[in-house]
Amino acid sequence: MKYKVLGNTGVLVSELCFGTMTFGNETDETEAALMFNRCRDVGINFFDCSNNYNGGRAEIILGKLIGDCRDEVFITSKVSQRVGKDVNALGSSRRHIMLSIEQSLSRLKTDRIDLYFIHHFDPLTPMDETLRALDDLVHQGKVLYLGVSNWAAWQIAKALGISEKENLACFKCIEPMYNLLKRQVEVEILPLAQSEKLGVISYSPLGAGLLTGKYSNSTKLGTGRIVEKKQYSQRYSNPRYYEIAEQFTNYAQELGVKPGTLAISWIMANPVITAPIIGARNVAQLNDSLAAINFHMEPQILDQITRFSDAPGNATDRSEEELDSTFKLRNS
């Protein structure tokens, strides 16, 4: 296992992060323990969680698993998504953040969360209120580092500016969606992360299973995340995604590599990515992802895989700058 510095924190984390979203739903406590131990055996010290995963059950299970190795692992949790029926049981207000952190710490049975994410952008709460609440958590020692997930680049940049101006604890890591089918982050979010030295842990590396060879235009299974959960069926409803996935899967078979292994290796090859978040329902699924640790991504393989998908457009309409690397703004 290789370890990378998380942004500019000085903390070393494994090049794969294990996501616990299935804990307490598709994965029971026994299987969760088997997967956690398998991850620890190969050197993973980075575990991602959230207060809304399966009604808090994921945090409870993870809390039990880290009991005898708390100081050897780096854990995350999140706040802002709905966690109850009350009208205020969501968002990024000071009130909700302060209530949620206590609940998460209790479920995780720990005195601090290593990396605490704002899960989604809250349009109803002023950004500076959210950032001040998070700064208080850092000063209280309940949170060590701050992160943000599912924000646009302009929102992240604005938050970094406010934190700098007001001398507040700032975001150290971002958690965006990224896979061969969903490459929008390459336009502005990853360049922002590189410029500001932010860690990046990307989720959904397998495209809800599309990049494992499980689905195709000609094969529609009756089970799986895309079938069972509306948000995934909507997210990957574009028929083009199935075409890309089928080409990619065929290529993986030619190489003699499991498609899931190859999909994760492709993300790991991006130097801006600190660690893809891998998830699984059981140890058998997990092993394909873990195999990415030992896969050597040669440049020609990386190039071929990238060519299967559709690159996102330029961040501006000045497309001529993409075509001519010598183009100079002073010539305009």
Catalytic pick from 53, 145, 215, 242? Answer: 53
State the average pLDDT over residues 240-245: 96
70-108 tens-digit pLDDT: 999 999 999 999 999 999 999 999 999 999 999 999 999
Give the percent of the chain with pLDDT over 90.
86
Whether 51 is in a domain gets the answer yes
Whether 130 is in a domain gets the answer yes
How far, in Å, are 3, 114, 201, 251, 323 from residue 6 at the CA level? Answer: 9, 11, 9, 32, 34
Whether 307 is in a domain gets the answer no
Whether 300 is in a domain gets the answer no
Q: Residues 92, 102: contact at Cβ < 8 Å?
A: no
- Residue 200: strand, helix, or coil: strand
Whether 131 is in a domain gets the answer yes
**Residue 139 carries which DSSP code?**
H
Catalytic: 53? yes
- From 228, 220, 238, select the one nearest 281 (Cα to Cα): 228
Whether 128 is in a domain gets the answer yes
User: 322: pLDDT confidence band, cut at 50, 70 and 90?
Assistant: low
146-156 tens-digit pLDDT: 999 999 999 99
- From 268, 203, 287, 217, select the one nearest 245 (Cα to Cα): 217
Q: What is the CATH number of the domain that holds 51?
A: 3.20.20.100
Whether 135 is in a domain gets the answer yes
* Number of domains making up the chain: 1
| pLDDT in the model for residue 307 | 97
Residues 6+ apart with CB under 8 A from 298: none
**In this model, does residue 33 exceed pLDDT 60?**
yes
How far, in Å, are 108, 130, 208 from residue 141 at the CA level? Answer: 15, 17, 36
Whether 278 is in a domain gets the answer no
280-296 tens-digit pLDDT: 999 999 999 999 999 99
**Residue 23 carries which DSSP code?**
B
**Domain boundaries, position 154:** 3-175
Lowest mean pLDDT among 9-18, 156-165, 313-322: 313-322
